[in-house]
Amino acid sequence: MLISQDSNGSFRKLNFNISSISTHDVYHFLNRDENELMIYMTGIKKEENIFLQRIIPIKAARRSMGGFCPDPTDSLQKLLWLDSLGHALHATWHIHPGLGPFATMPSERDKKSQECLERGRYETIMVILSRDGFVRFLSIKISFSIHLFGTGIEVVDEDSNIFKISKT
Ligand SMILES: [Zn+2]
């Protein structure tokens, strides 16, 4: 799926929408043990609005407290499966060890993998969680805004797209 471009060829801003319940679901899914874990997420896209909805678990080639390496065959199959159903990858989520907003900072490897997806023209953002429920939404070049539906999640830093799950 191509990144939305306007007639001047510049990127359109994408509006990502997600409910607090879905955010809680992802947090609990990823926080199941001490090792890093990653998921894909898809949903409904209408023009520049993307509604993140469905968790897609992906298999690990390796995982530890310090990292998650996706199984490339499984990841590719999941992307092809999405495409076959007219859907696309719209977010990758993973959890970092550590607490507080700083624990959600992307590593150099995280930035490279997001950059790679954007270069592949996926309309997707990266979401990184801390163990105590801080959530950071980020991209490299894609311009986006986050719209949360429901309660139980608070804004920490609007400019940096950092939130905190207040009820788990
Ligand atoms: Zn990471």
Contact 126, 140 (CB under 8 A): no
CA of 96 to the centre of ligand 1 (A): 6
CA of 19 to the centre of ligand 1 (A): 23
- Gap between the Cα atoms of 82 and 87, Å rounded: 5
CA of 47 to the centre of ligand 1 (A): 29
In tens, the pLDDT along 80-138 reads 999 999 999 999 999 999 999 999 999 999 999 999 999 999 999 999 999 999 999 99
CA of 135 to the centre of ligand 1 (A): 12
pLDDT at 168: 62
Q: Residue 116: in which H helix or E strand, if any?
A: helix 108-119
- Gap between the Cα atoms of 89 and 54, Å rounded: 10
The mean pLDDT of 44-54, rounded to a whole number, is 97
- pLDDT at residue 7 is higher than 60: no
- pLDDT at residue 8 is higher than 60: no
CA of 134 to the centre of ligand 1 (A): 13
Q: Pick the residue with more confidence: 36 or 88? A: 88
Ranking 5-14, 21-30, 67-76, 151-160 by mean pLDDT, the lowest is: 5-14
Average of per-residue pLDDT values in the chain: 92
Residue-range domains of the chain with CATH: 14-165 (3.40.140.10)
CA of 3 to the centre of ligand 1 (A): 24
Q: Where are the alpha helices (DSSP H) in 5-100?
A: 20-30, 72-84
CA of 30 to the centre of ligand 1 (A): 13
Q: What's the whole-model pTM score? A: 0.92
| 3-state SS class at 38 | strand
| 3-state SS class at 112 | helix
Q: How confident is the model at residue 11 (pLDDT cuts 50, 70, 90)?
A: low
CA of 162 to the centre of ligand 1 (A): 15
Q: How confident is the model at residue 12 (pLDDT cuts 50, 70, 90)?
A: confident
CA of 70 to the centre of ligand 1 (A): 12
The mean pLDDT of 59-85, rounded to a whole number, is 93
Q: How confident is the model at residue 10 (pLDDT cuts 50, 70, 90)?
A: low
In the structure encoding, which two tokens stand for residue 100, read together? Answer: 């507080």
Contact 39, 58 (CB under 8 A): yes
- pLDDT at residue 22 is higher than 90: yes
